[in-house]
Amino acid sequence: MKFRLVSDYTPQGDQPEAIKRLVDGIELGKRSQVLLGITGSGKTFTMANVIDQVQKPALILAHNKTLAAQLYQEFKNLFPDNAVEYFVSYYDYYQPEAYVPRTDTYIEKDLSINDRIEKLRLRATCSLLERDDVIIVSSVSCIYGLGLPEYFREMKLSLNVGDTCKRDAVLIHLIELQYTRNDYELTRSHFRVRGDILEIVPAYEDDLGYRIEFFGDEIEKISEIDPLTGKVKRKIKGLSIYPGSHHVTPEEARVSAMQTIREELKERSDFFRKENLLVEQQRIEQRTKYDLEMIKEIGYCKGVENYSRHFASRNEGEPPSCLLDYFPSDYLIFVDESHQTLPQIHAMHNGDRARKKSLVDFGFRLPSAYDNRPLKFEEFYNHIHQVVYVSATPGAWEVAEAGGDVVQQIIRPTGL
């Protein structure tokens, strides 16, 4: 489906010239451009017109959740027929795991996840894998590690009317996708079973469920339903159910990861013993063996993201997969308020590593935990295909990146 901008307004003031220059630059293959727009000059409307004309999926990068939410609502209104999604941190409260050596204080990770934002994050990645007409408004959360897009895509459950498959095999697949059975209440990320009827609400939906009716080992009927009332909305021929978490892993990858985790544990344990750090040795062995047992039994453990390097078969120091890896190669990035957003991206990696250093040094985590991290700035830069830095006060670095060519939007649509 194509992008279709819906608005009662037309570009005014400096907007038409700014739109033309940005579109021409993108079509000529320019990697970096700068839009210098004063407050109230309609930079969001300019970005929307550029997307509408170049017809490329886009990431709008904001420096905080409040600005991201505002931009999300504006783009939803401008592109009502397209997939406009929201991707920010889903924590209402987050106390990261830490260790303070001076007072010998271990602080366990404590968090509260916002259910609605988790749903929107999952919907964002599903849209990227299903559609071309996608705009994602994100905070710097987009540079933090996510599960591999290959795993997320490959592990989806596809069901079609007439397919031959055992009902119990479908249920096992759903559990592997981190869905939970609840035969009483049908809510997001849950499914229920009544005889030959399976009902499920995907993790990225709230008010849309599916009913799959079996006849023996054959799928006889699939319907979209209202999860609350059970009323059928319409019959469909097939559907795809994506995982209930970004951190799902196929069985063979789990087995391989467990083996490499054991190898790293032995190496770290030997290091602590050689240094006569017996408390640290006992600590890392106890914690890691418990985590391995949990992974073996249920497929994941608390803090499983700290082993992401092993699950993704990455080498030490390699960048993690993140939201940017879910985009097709030919996509646009708009860095809004770039004079504030870019310094944030610069700072993320060092802050994360400083916190983890004491956890690794004192045996709370294996060194591979360092690789569960946000992207370094250079890694983020390498993900860029084409970018527009948007700011009222662009920095010297952005201007230099654009070769000194700055698109100015000074006259407001009102003529001021």
Q: Which of 262, 291, 284, 288 is nearest to 361 (CA)?
A: 284
How far is CA 226 from its chain centroid?
A: 27
Q: Which residue has the tokens 């453990």?
A: 301
pLDDT at 60: 97
Please name the residues in contact with 225: beta carbons below 8 A apart, sequence gap of 6 or more: 199, 208, 209, 210, 211, 231, 232, 233
Q: How far apart are the first and last CA of the chain?
A: 37
Q: Whose CA is closest to 17, among 416, 414, 331, 406? A: 406
- pLDDT tens digits for range 247-290: 888 889 999 999 999 999 999 999 999 999 999 999 999 999 99
- Assess contact for 393 and 34: CB atoms under 8 A: no
Torsion of CA 357, 358, 361, 366, to 10 degrees: -70
H/E segment holding residue 345: helix 338-361
pLDDT value of position 110? 66
Phi, psi of 135 (to 5 degrees): -120, 125
For residue range 25-54, list pLDDT tens digits in order.
999 999 999 999 887 778 999 999 999 999
Summarize pLDDT for 175-219 with one digit per residue, the tens: 989 899 998 889 999 999 998 999 999 999 988 999 999 998 999
The pLDDT, as a whole number, for residue 102 is 79
Cα angle, residue 76 at apex, residues 71 and 82 outer, rounded to 5°: 130
Average pLDDT, the chain: 91
Amino acid, single-letter form, for residue 80: P
CA distances from 89 to 13, 35, 114, 115, 146 (A): 36, 27, 9, 11, 12
> Predicted confidence band at 170 (pLDDT cuts at 50, 70, 90)?
very high
E-strand ranges in 108-217 read: 110-113, 134-138, 157-160, 180-181, 190-194, 197-201, 209-215
Phi, psi of 193 (to 5 degrees): -130, 130
Q: In terms of residues, how long is the chain?
A: 416
Three-class SS of residue 414? coil
**Phi and psi at residue 235, to the nearest 5°:** -90, 145
Q: Give yes or no for a contact between 179 and 122, defined as CB atoms under 8 angstroms apart.
A: no
Task: Give the Cα separation of 326 and 309 in Å (integer).
Answer: 18
- φ, ψ dihedrals at 163, nearest 5°: -65, 145
Separation CA 246–CA 128 (nearest Å): 13
Interval 366-377: pLDDT, tens: 999 999 999 999
Predicted local confidence at residue 94, as pLDDT? 64
SS3 content of the chain, % helix, strand, coil (to 5): 45, 20, 35
Predicted confidence at residue 413, as pLDDT, reads 73
Query: What does each C-alpha distance from 289 to 261, 263, 298, 375 come to in angstroms?
Result: 9, 12, 14, 29
Q: In the numeric block, which tokens belong to residue 181?
A: 């059975």
Q: What are phi and psi of 239, to 5 degrees?
A: -160, 160
Taking residue 109's Cβ as centre, other Cβ atoms within 10 Å add up to 12
Joined tokens for residue 63: 């420096």
Q: What is d(CA 384, CA 61) in angstroms, rounded to the nearest whole number?
A: 12
- Classify strands 332-336 and 58-61 as parallel, antiparallel or unpaired: parallel
d(Cα 380, Cα 367) in Å, to the nearest integer?
Answer: 23
Per residue in 116-162, pLDDT (tens digit) is 889 999 999 999 999 999 999 999 999 998 889 999 999 999 999 99
Residue 3 has pLDDT above 70, yes or no: yes
Average pLDDT estimate for 105-126: 83
The pLDDT value given to residue 248: 86
Half-sphere CA count of 406, side-chain side, radius 13 A: 17
Share of the chain above pLDDT 70, in %: 97
Residues 375 and 146 sit within 8 Å (Cβ to Cβ): no
